[in-house]
Amino acid sequence: MRLRVGLGDLLCSAPALRALATVRPDVRVTLVTWPEMAGVVERLGSVEELLAFPGAPGIPERPPREDGWPAFVRAAHERGFDLALQAYGDNPAANRVAAALGARLVGGFAPTGWDPPPGTEALHLRYPTAEHEVRRHLLLLEHLGLELPPDAERMFFPVTDDEERDHAERLAGLGLRPGGYAVLHPGASAPARHWPVASYAELAAALVADGWPVVLTGTPPEAPLTTHVAAAAPGAVDLAGRTDLAGAALLIRDAAVLVGNDTGTAHVAAAFETPSVTIFQSGDPRRWAQVRPDTRALTPGVPCAPCSHLECPIGFPCSTATTAADVLAAVREVARAVAA
């Protein structure tokens, strides 16, 4: 069960799913998650099917669709699962969902302050709060007795030959070369992760002044953000809403650097080992940041961060703590690290 709606969540889960498929190819894996993630799940592979989750009380990603719960539970019971694993996180509501699936055995993460039912202790792992998101899912498999392959933590993002061809044509049409441009991604899945668009505009103008061709990416709803940024940076290429997921991912792969929020694009960069600068606000860098010489994770340094709020109740003090000058300095550091 991975009841998340973020691209980054699934990219960080994918190494564990791949390891499971590699070590136990005899096991049929069903991933319980939201139906709109079907395209990402299919791309990442390692599972046989997606069982669409309708939501449930206590799971905050989407309001629960109560009329879908009976059919969901019925479909789960019909599959006769041998094992249901709560791989959602530090939230006992997810354990209640796992228990409802009708599996012969139920295990997974044991949230803080929640105790597994008697007799299931060995199938549960106390939620490892201090670990990176990729590592914690692998730890769960190790806890269940799997011997993981040496490269188990490597992230990945598969693309097809047709997608590669489309990407090469796009770069040529824009006059861009691999490794010769910077990507800015000002959007994020939650308001608390949005660095101010005015700061992105200031950064984009500074990067153009430094001689960088700037490419802006985003989903169609994020186009107003990129339009604002592009207006401040003459020559910036605004591709928000003009590429599919693979197109955006390949733009990130071939960038000299990605600058963005703590959101899915940062994990796309990690999958391709693209140099990156990630601006953290409410998010926890211990859980989500990549640690390499060519990456920087900028944290706000305010006492309330990190936090779990998707909407800030005190006016986003973290959003202004990191300045455009801070981010520009980090980009220049990354560029020097790559050149070295």
Q: Report the C-alpha gap between 331 and 210 in whole angstroms.
A: 11
Is 150 within the bounds of a domain? Answer: no
> 6: helix, coil or strand?
coil
Which of 90, 117, 143 finishes a domain? Answer: 143
**Per-residue confidence at 286, pLDDT binned at 50, 70, 90?**
confident
The total of structural domains in the chain comes to 2
Q: Are residues 218 and 299 in the same domain?
A: yes
User: Which residues constitute the domain of residue 87?
Assistant: 7-143
Provide the token pair at 198. Answer: 């005015």
Q: What is the CATH number of the domain that holds 303?
A: 3.40.50.2000
pLDDT at 308: 78
- Does residue 59 form part of some domain? yes
72 exposure class (CB count in 10 Å sphere: 0-12, 13-18, 19+): buried
Residue 95: phi and psi, rounded to 5, are -70, -35
Report CA-CA distances (Å) from 268 to 14, 61, 188, 253. Answer: 12, 21, 13, 8
Does residue 73 form part of some domain?
Answer: yes
- Shared domain for 204 and 314, answered yes or no, is yes
pLDDT digits 0-9 by tens, 117-157: 999 999 999 999 989 999 999 999 999 999 999 999 999 99
Residue that is last in its domain, among 116, 143, 170: 143
Radius of gyration of the chain from its Cα atoms, rounded to whole angstroms? 21
Q: Among the residues of the chain, which ranges form H helices?
A: 7-23, 38-44, 69-79, 92-99, 133-143, 161-174, 197-209, 223-232, 245-253, 264-272, 285-288, 324-339
Whole-angstrom distance, CA of residue 16 vs CA of residue 213: 37
Report the distance separating Cα 260 and Cα 94, nearest Å.
30
Do residues 83 and 103 lie in contact, with contact meaning Cβ atoms separated by under 8 Å? yes
Confidence of residue 302 (pLDDT cuts 50, 70, 90): confident
Same domain, 31 and 101: yes
pLDDT band of residue 189 (cuts 50, 70, 90) is confident
In this predicted model, what pLDDT tens digit does every residue of 36-75 receive, in sequence order? 999 999 999 999 999 999 999 999 888 899 899 999 999 9
Q: Does residue 151 belong to any structural domain of this protein?
A: no
